[in-house]
Amino acid sequence: MGYFLILGVENENLINYNQSQLIYKAFLYTDKRRVNKFYLRMRDKLENGGITVENATDFLNIKDVSTAFKINGQFYDAISHIDLQVHHDEILAIVGESGCGKSTLATTIMGLHNPAETKISGSIDFEGTDLLQLSDDEYNQYRGAKIGMIFQDPLSALNPLKRIEDQISEVMDYHSTFTSAEKHDRVLELLDQVGIVNPKRTAHQFPHELSGGMRQRVIIAIAIACKPDLIIADEPTTALDVTIQAQILDVLREIQKENHAGIILITHDLGVVAETADRVAVMYAGQIVEQGTAEQIFNTPEHPYTRSLLRSMPQRDNENDDLYVIQGNVPSLQKMPQTGDRFAPRIPWVPASAHEDNPTMHEVTPGHLVRCTCYRDFQFPDQPEKGSVTE
Amino acid sequence: MSLVEIKDLKVHYPIRSGFWNRVTDEVPAVDGITFNIEAGETYGLVGESGSGKSTTGKSVVGLEKVTGGSILYNGQDITKKANRRKLDYNHDVQMIFQDSLSSLNPRKRIEDIIAEPLRNFEHLSKEDEKLRVLQLLDIVGLDADALYKYPHQFSGGQRQRIGVARAVATNPKLIIADEPVSALDLSVQAQVLNFMKKIQREFGISYLFISHDLGVVRHMCNNIAIMNRGRLVEIGTRDDIYNHPLHIYTKRLLAAIPETNVNQRAAHRASRLAVEEVYREQQDKYYDDEGKAYPLVAVSPTHSVALPETIAKQLAQQETEVQA
Amino acid sequence: MWKTILRRILIMIPEVIILSILVFLLAKAMPGDPFTGSINPKADPAQIKHLMKINGLYDPWYQQYWNWVVHLFHGNLGNSYQYQEPVTRLIGGRATNTLWLALLTMILTYALALPMGVFAGRHEGKLPDTVIRVYTYVTYCIPFFVILVIGIWIFGYVLGWFPTTGSITSGTTGWLRTIGSRFYHILLPAVLGALFGTVNIVQYLRSEVIDAKRSDYVRTARAKGVPSKDIYRHHIFRNSLLPIAAFAGYSITGLLNGSIFTETVFSYPGMGLLFVNSISYRDYTVITALVLIYGILNLLGTLLSDIILSVVDPRIRIE
């Protein structure tokens, strides 16, 4: 049985082609890895011929993933039952406040948790392989090569005692057959690509000699050195000034276009999400509560949490009003309710009957998923009519 | 008369080098800035890291050794220590810090933390002091049982509110808030900002609100100064700065704020890139030969920009034409 | 960089002068004199007074100090009252003994401490770590001279593996045998000194390794797909050894302090033993000379640490 149905060209090895030669046909593939390779190859050719290709397949499929941390000898879920897909050529933003589990999700995909203190269940299907079944050595074939990660704090994420060049070429030491001269050239090329003005000089410097923005560019260079299919960016611009932030986001977008990578952008900044993301997943207390395209999330937010967040943001024209404050606090890991709607205590005016006992995701419009039924009649106590929240 | 008048404030840090480790050069962290803070108002000071905004804030509280210029409070220059003591200046001016955890002593209970300024300045009886602390906790919306807890037992937002409670304990006239919400989550940020506004309404406190976040500043401040490389490049009302920016640096900052309007994404990006283009090409028009900002020139009673007079007038003209 | 080193050495001059004055005054402030009890218990007090006088011990302190400094610049540290020989020669002979002992102690200390610290840090919380930690706690709790005495008792008397006094077996001939005998004599004190000296380094290194393991740059390396053993080799070891390397200069102080105990307990003829003896005999010339040497070595040790640090850590540059 095949998994995917994609549109392709009859002759895969077509090199010189013109549009009239293209015959569209349905291919039935059983091997996901082949589908991905084929997709990427065809995509370049077709787009050069002026045809746009829609996302053919999700190459990262996170299914029912929970990650639990050991606290005082007992395991507590930091993220529970996450279902998420990432496609080629898209930026998926995961947004939520501190403690919602967004960074845990990232480090789970990267396999960076200490197995003695974490318990991970579910499956993460990456180009046909379940990452969660890999040994550490096998995982190392993916980390840095097919999955790159960009970290939040660019100063501490770089080894203070190593030159920039060595830190970038270290990735290639393990994932390429480059000679040292080739690595050197690639380092300079990468530094140039991430917008560093004088790559030769920077390559020779140590992290502390660079500005925050430059360091973050170096981190990005490390993440993309082996042209990974998936890039996970964990709060990549939080430590940076706004003007630098804009530049870094531009660099990310360009790289994604060039490599056809899928990017998971983890951030707490709704503005960054609205400017950059194609799709958005909103997380609260370890769960995804709403998911959809950027337009769906920002133009027609449904879940009470998403709507509350957008309302608590300082916006144009609300200078004289108080900002909306969500009642209560995010529960700690140990006190996380295991049944019922986790957001319910923070919207106490909503009757219990509006919530589900075991909240599931509901599809509002195609691709737009919302957890729990409480969104249907949700309204803020001070604002009877629904809508007009984001305007 | 303004509450605080800052005149040509300069803070230079010495660079030592050479065999005898003598001062050979100076870094102008703050390089001659002038602005006034009015009573009961929130004055926004905006800039990127390294612009000198925090140094300015610390100078106003008296935590920084000032190289030149003056800060007048009730007509007295408080850059001199003797004057600060005479005026009881540190009773009237308090500070809220960005990092709420490290600015609260981890070994002290909340009661002692909030009572500290009271003990320093107003010698109350034990009962009165406790009453006042409870009152302060109530103002910032914390329960009485917070009294006996330690800072680490609170969330970031609660700690920041404790910082606010401590700052307002002495009924100050001015609070310097240095990035008070930048470490906080959105919903908690909203809470703290609301509190700050509420306290201002009730007690008529002035704020010097230092931030890099233009969205928050727009929400909080009526008057705003934009700082760049130790100098002010533009000052004006909220409307002047956000709707009629003149200096390229202000425009750059504004263009770089991410907008939540997804539908305008492409347009917003295009306008940002256009501003960046102008910045790259015409940088020397906006800065003098040494790369410093020009002295401020008034283009309207409220709005000044750091440009040579002719260019400033010309830009202001264009701006009004565009608006019309 | 050379400029800074030169400046640091220049700064040392006033430090050494102040040190020497303090040392001189303290030595003088000790009750007693170098002659009572050393010549003959029944010696005539008048004769002792005479001896004191011709040795200038009744002069005001600054004059005594000045005389001492003038002699110092002629390379003359005076004569020992006790041994009746020039202090320079007296110390010269002992200094080599102490040097060899200190050198071997240092080598053994690092040879033991580095693997233990790294191993404990790497296997944090597991059995080897627990064993090493118990070892460091126990050693830390026992005073150094007790360790020495227990060591001598077990290895010197009960088992009889090592000599318990002296620096060489008397009557040894031939250079190879001489070296062998010397080494045999310093091995036990050096091992015991090293066991004690490892404690601080092991604990420090262990926590450095644990910190490095949890650092963000190690996480970055893991995200690059670097195998665990290479992460230890390229990132953790080097970064956590850095403060230890810088510490080496300071450890000279510890070695010198330790030598005072070791040499006394082992009757090993080095500077430490000489120091202890000189104090009991009020041998002022020797005491002042030794303290001055110790002081200068300590100052050089700190300078050495600063230089090492600037060489191994790119973030610190001596301009």
Mean pLDDT on A230-247: 88
Q: Right CATH number for B39-66+79-228 from 3.30.70.1400, 3.40.50.300, 3.90.320.10, 3.90.1300.10?
A: 3.40.50.300
Q: Which of B48, B187, B278 to mutate to test the interface with A (most CBs of A within 10 A)?
A: B187
Backbone angles phi, psi at A361, to 5 degrees: -85, 135
**A376, part of any domain:** no
- A35-39, A334-338, A363-367, B96-100: range with lowest mean pLDDT: A35-39
The predicted pLDDT at position C209 comes to: 93
Buried b (16+ CB within 10 A) or exposed e, A243-274: bbbbbbbbbbeebbeebbbbbbbbbbbbbbbb
- A48-52, A132-136, A148-152, B314-318: range with lowest mean pLDDT: A48-52
Q: Which residues of chain A are within 8 Å of residue C220 when distances are taken between CB atoms?
A: 149, 151, 157-159, 219, 222
- CB–CB of A174 and C225 under 8 A? yes
Of all residues in chain A, the one with the smallest CA distance to C315 is A208
- A305-309, B315-319, C74-78: range with lowest mean pLDDT: C74-78
Q: Which residues of chain A are within 8 Å of residue C217 when distances are taken between CB atoms?
A: 156-160
Assess whether A45 and A70 both reside in one domain: no
The neighbours of chain B, by the rule of 3 or more Cβ pairs under 8 Å, are A, C
The predicted pLDDT at position B48 comes to: 87
**C170, part of any domain:** yes
Mean pLDDT on B194-216: 90
Assess whether A42 and A120 both reside in one domain: no
Assess whether A42 and A122 both reside in one domain: no
- Domains of chain C: total: 1
- Closest C-alpha to A86, from A112, A52, A62: A62
Assess whether A159 and A73 both reside in one domain: yes
With a cut of 70, say whether residue C54 has pLDDT above it.
no
Backbone angles phi, psi at C279, to 5 degrees: -65, -45
Model confidence over A192-206: pLDDT tens digits?
Answer: 988 888 999 999 999
Assess whether A79 and A178 both reside in one domain: yes
Q: Which of A108, A143, A153, A161 to mutate to test the interface with C (most CBs of C within 10 A)?
A: A161
- CB–CB of C314 and A206 under 8 A? yes
Q: Which of B19, B20, B24 to mutate to test the interface with C (most CBs of C within 10 A)?
A: B19
Print the domain residue range for A259.
59-277
Q: List, in order, residues 6 or more apart from C80 with CB less than 8 Å away.
A: C86, C87, C90, C278, C283, C285, C286
Print the domain residue range for C147.
87-268
The predicted pLDDT at position C216 comes to: 92
- Closest C-alpha to A166, from A112, A125, A203: A203
A52-56, A195-199, B157-161 — which one is most confidently predicted on average?
A195-199
- A218-227, A336-345, B223-232, C45-54: range with lowest mean pLDDT: C45-54
Q: Which residues of chain B are within 8 Å of residue A279 when distances are taken between CB atoms?
A: none
Distance from CA of B167 to the nearest CA of C (A): 35
C26-30, C56-60, C192-196, C245-249 — which one is most confidently predicted on average?
C192-196
pTM value is 0.83
Mean pLDDT on C43-58: 69
With a cut of 50, say whether residue A3 has pLDDT above it.
no
Model confidence over A264-274: pLDDT tens digits?
Answer: 999 999 999 99
CA A107, A112, A116, A119 torsion-angle sign:
positive
Q: Which residues of chain C are within 8 Å of residue B19 when distances are taken between CB atoms?
A: 3, 7
- CB–CB of A156 and C217 under 8 A? yes
Mark which residues 3-62 of C lie under 8 Å from A by CB. none
Residue A32 confidence class, pLDDT cut points 50, 70, 90: low
- CB–CB of B190 and A270 under 8 A? no
Model confidence over B100-121: pLDDT tens digits?
Answer: 778 888 889 988 998 888 888 8
Pairwise CA distance, residues B170 & B114, whole Å: 10
Q: List, in order, residues 6 or more apart from B307 with CB less than 8 Å away.
A: B246, B247, B286, B294, B297, B315
Residue C166 confidence class, pLDDT cut points 50, 70, 90: confident
Assess whether A273 and A299 both reside in one domain: no
The predicted pLDDT at position A38 comes to: 61
Q: Which residues of chain B are within 8 Å of residue C319 when distances are taken between CB atoms?
A: 17
Between A179 and A318, name the one with better pLDDT: A179
Model confidence over A283-300: pLDDT tens digits?
Answer: 999 999 999 999 999 999
**C229, part of any domain:** yes
The predicted pLDDT at position B207 comes to: 94
Residue B218 confidence class, pLDDT cut points 50, 70, 90: very high
Please report, rounded to a whole number, the percentage of residues in chain B having pLDDT higher than 70: 99
Over the Cα atoms of chain A, what is R_g? 22
**C133, part of any domain:** yes
Of all residues in chain A, the one with the smallest CA distance to B212 is A241
Assess whether A34 and A156 both reside in one domain: no
Residue A368 confidence class, pLDDT cut points 50, 70, 90: very high
The predicted pLDDT at position A149 comes to: 94
* CB distance A255 to A193 below 8 Å: yes
CB contact, 8 Å: C3 with chain B? yes
* Helix or strand holding residue B284 (H, E): helix B265-286
The predicted pLDDT at position A233 comes to: 94
| Number of neighbours of residue A198 by Cβ within 10 angstroms | 10
Assess whether A333 and A270 both reside in one domain: no
Please report, rounded to a whole number, the percentage of residues in chain A having pLDDT higher than 70: 83
- A328-337, B203-212, C107-116, C310-319: range with lowest mean pLDDT: C310-319
Assess whether A43 and A67 both reside in one domain: no
Alpha helices by DSSP H, B140-261? 156-168, 186-203, 214-220, 238-243, 248-256
A23-32, B260-269, C144-153 — which one is most confidently predicted on average?
B260-269
- CB–CB of B187 and A308 under 8 A? yes
**A387, part of any domain:** no
Mean pLDDT on B304-310: 88
- Closest C-alpha to B175, from B185, B165, B184: B165
- A147-156, C27-36, C78-87, C95-104: range with lowest mean pLDDT: C27-36
**A382, part of any domain:** no
The predicted pLDDT at position B144 comes to: 83
Assess whether A96 and A20 both reside in one domain: no
Length of chain A, in residues: 391
Residue B308 confidence class, pLDDT cut points 50, 70, 90: confident
Residue B123 confidence class, pLDDT cut points 50, 70, 90: confident
With a cut of 90, say whether residue C176 has pLDDT above it.
no
Mean pLDDT on C291-299: 83
The predicted pLDDT at position A180 comes to: 92
Pairwise CA distance, residues A287 & A331, whole Å: 13
Which of B186, B214, B253 is the closest to A97 by Cβ?
A: B186
Give the CB-side neighbour count of residue B108, counting CA atoms within 13 A. Answer: 13
* CB distance A255 to A133 below 8 Å: no
Distance from CA of C7 to the nearest CA of B (A): 7
Mean pLDDT of chain A: 83
Of all residues in chain B, the one with the smallest CA distance to C318 is B17
- CB–CB of A98 and B185 under 8 A? yes
Q: Which residues of chain A are within 8 Å of residue B197 when distances are taken between CB atoms?
A: 322
- Domains of chain A: total: 3
With a cut of 80, say whether residue C58 has pLDDT above it.
no
The predicted pLDDT at position A385 comes to: 54
Assess whether A49 and A85 both reside in one domain: no
Place of tokens 């580095």: C114
**A166, part of any domain:** yes
Mean pLDDT on B214-230: 92
- CB–CB of C225 and A158 under 8 A? no
Mean pLDDT of chain C: 82
Mean pLDDT on A123-144: 92
Pairwise CA distance, residues C42 & A44, whole Å: 110
- CB–CB of C319 and B17 under 8 A? yes
Specify the CATH number for the domain of residue C213.
1.10.3720.10
* CB distance B95 to B167 below 8 Å: yes
DSSP per position, A222-262: HHHTT--SEEEEESTTTTS-HHHHHHHHHHHHHHHHHHT-E
The predicted pLDDT at position A381 comes to: 85
Pairwise CA distance, residues A323 & A318, whole Å: 8
Between A33 and A63, name the one with better pLDDT: A63
* Helix or strand holding residue B42 (H, E): strand B42-46
Mean pLDDT on A205-216: 90
Over the Cα atoms of chain B, what is R_g? 21
Residue B125 confidence class, pLDDT cut points 50, 70, 90: confident
The predicted pLDDT at position C93 comes to: 81
- Calculated CA dihedral for residues B203, B208, B210, B216, nearest 10 degrees: 50
The predicted pLDDT at position C20 comes to: 80
Pairing of strands A262-267, A230-234: parallel
Q: Which residues of chain A are within 8 Å of residue B48 when distances are taken between CB atoms?
A: 241-243
